């Protein structure tokens, strides 16, 4: 499971010309799920995301987490995070989990993030054509891969 975390001042996702989810200060999280991911990956990654201390404190040091700034999360599924670009110019997506594996893990991540954050998480819609808008704050972008925990 790969997460791209972007610290944002605001973010939204639009589906069929209608805002489906939006947040102010917080994290836009793009989530890529592969066929070997498990519920353990969901639990570990959720705690890592919620505990990520990348908001500035009074001394302008990245030292505060989402709870400290009363931040929110907008979670977007993005299978293209598992693109293989080794051959040619057309990416391959064989490492991305098929919907029957990915959807339950995505839904589990929504629930786990909500529990760990202590409030509802905004989301996109799995498999939909989404338009994501964000104002990256910093910019700060962090990539976490559950296969590289050490």
- Flag residues of the chain having pLDDT under 50: none
Question: Does residue 115 sit within a domain?
Answer: no
pLDDT for the residue numbered 72: 98
pLDDT score at 126: 92
CA geometry: angle 104, 109, 111, nearest 5 deg: 95
pLDDT, tens only, 15-33: 999 999 999 999 999 999 9
Query: In this structure, is residue 113 part of a structural domain?
Result: no
DSSP class per residue in 59-82:
TS-EEE-HHHHT-EEEEEE-GGGG
Annotated active-site residue in 79, 112, 123, 146: 79
Please confirm whether the linkage preceding 139 is cis (ω < 30° from 0). Answer: yes
Q: Which of 36, 38, 70, 80 is catalytic?
A: 80
Residue 108: inside a domain: no
Does residue 78 lie within any of the structural domains? Answer: yes
Task: Report the interhelical angle of 39-51 vs 99-117 (nearest 10°).
Answer: 40
pTM: 0.94
Query: Which residues sit opposite 142 in a β-bridge?
Result: 5
Is residue 94 among the annotated active site residues? no
The CATH number of whichever domain residue 35 belongs to comes to 3.50.80.10
List the catalytic residue out of 6, 27, 55, 78.
78
| CB of 84 closer than 8 Å to CB of 21 | no
Task: Please report the pLDDT score of residue 79 as a whole number.
Answer: 92
- Residue 134 sits in which domain range? 1-83+126-142
Q: Tell me, yes or no, if 27 is annotated catalytic.
A: no
Domain count, the chain: 1
User: Is 80 one of the annotated active-site residues of the chain?
Assistant: yes
The whole-number pLDDT of residue 149 equals 84
């Amino acid at each position: 499971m790969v997460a791209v975390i972007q610290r944002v001042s605001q973010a939204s996702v639009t589906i069929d010309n209608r805002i489906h989810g939006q947040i102010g200060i917080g994290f836009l999280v793009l989530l890529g799920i592969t066929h070997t991911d498990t519920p353990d990956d969901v639990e570990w990654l959720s705690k890592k995301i919620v505990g990520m201390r990348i908001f500035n404190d009074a001394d302008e040091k990245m030292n505060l987490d989402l709870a400290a700034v009363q931040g929110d999360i907008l979670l977007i599924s993005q299978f293209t995070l598992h693109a293989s670009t080794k051959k040619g110019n057309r990416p391959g997506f064989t490492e991305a989990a098929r919907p029957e594996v990915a959807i339950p893990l995505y839904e589990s991540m929504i629930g786990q993030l909500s529990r760990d954050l202590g409030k509802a998480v905004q989301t996109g819609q799995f498999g939909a054509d989404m338009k994501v808008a964000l104002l990256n704050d910093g910019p700060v972008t962090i990539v976490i891969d559950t296969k590289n925990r050490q």
